[in-house]
Amino acid sequence: MDRIDRTILSALQNNARISNVELATKAGLSASACLRRVSQLERSGIIDGYHANLNAAQLGHDVLVLMQITLRGQSAEMMADFEAAATDIPQVLACFLIAGESDYILRVAARDVADFGRVHSEYLSALPHVLRMESSFILREVFNRSLTPTLD
């Protein structure tokens, strides 16, 4: 990956809807050369998708919670069971396997505190192999970004 690829990646992170012509101009390439570079970045897995960043509050989910989960054990079967069950809960926006005192961190969305209580009692408390759960309510998102390639 060279400076041109990093320029393309940086521009796409700022605006994934940028036109290929505008992207090519920023990268100092022809439109066809730029399209080939973007296609190669996609094939190599460096670009693994495009998405819209949705505002949870505007969609009626004013409460975001980070949950630290500790399992009863760390066998491959226990972890697979837990991960499969967490995937099936639509309010779980992200699940991270971590090192440390806890095993997982979940990011959970809810309409309000009462809705989080319902999600917790109906779904989260039923997750398999859970020993302990700790919930931290997000008060305000300061920033949330992806890795930006350095332009050496």
Looking at the chain, the whole-number percentage of residues with pLDDT higher than 70 is 99
Name the region of 128 (left: φ>0; alpha: ψ -120 to 50; beta: rest): beta
pLDDT at 146: 80
**Which residue spans of the chain are classified as CATH 3.30.70.920?**
57-137
pTM for the whole structure: 0.83
**Which residue spans of the chain are classified as CATH 1.10.10.10?**
3-43
CA distance 71 to 79: 8
pLDDT per residue as tens digits for the range 86-144: 999 999 999 999 999 999 999 999 999 999 999 999 999 999 999 999 999 999 999 98
The dihedral through the CA atoms of 83, 88, 89, 95 has a sign that is positive
Residue pointed to by tokens 């060279």: 2
pLDDT at 149: 75
Residue pointed to by tokens 């066998």: 75
pLDDT per residue as tens digits for the range 9-36: 999 998 999 999 999 999 999 999 999 9
The strand pairing partners of 95, in sequence order, are: 106
pLDDT at 144: 85
Mean pLDDT of the chain: 95
pLDDT at 145: 80
pLDDT at 125: 96
pLDDT greater than 80 at residue 151: no
Tell me the backbone φ, ψ of residue 107, rounded to 5 degrees. Answer: -110, 120
Looking at the chain, the whole-number percentage of residues with pLDDT higher than 90 is 88
Burial class, 54, CB count within 10 angstroms (exposed 0-12 / middle 13-18 / buried 19+): exposed
pLDDT at 82: 98
Extract the tokens encoding 24: 């090519």
What is the band of 150 on the pLDDT scale with cuts at 50, 70, 90? Answer: confident
Residue environment code for 102-128, b if the CB has 16+ CB neighbours within 10 A, otherwise e: bbbbbbbbbbeeebbeebbeebbeebe
User: What is the second-level CATH architecture of the domain 57-137?
Assistant: 2-Layer Sandwich (3.30)
CATH class of the domain whose range is 3-43 = mainly alpha
Q: In one letter, which amino acid is 77?
A: E
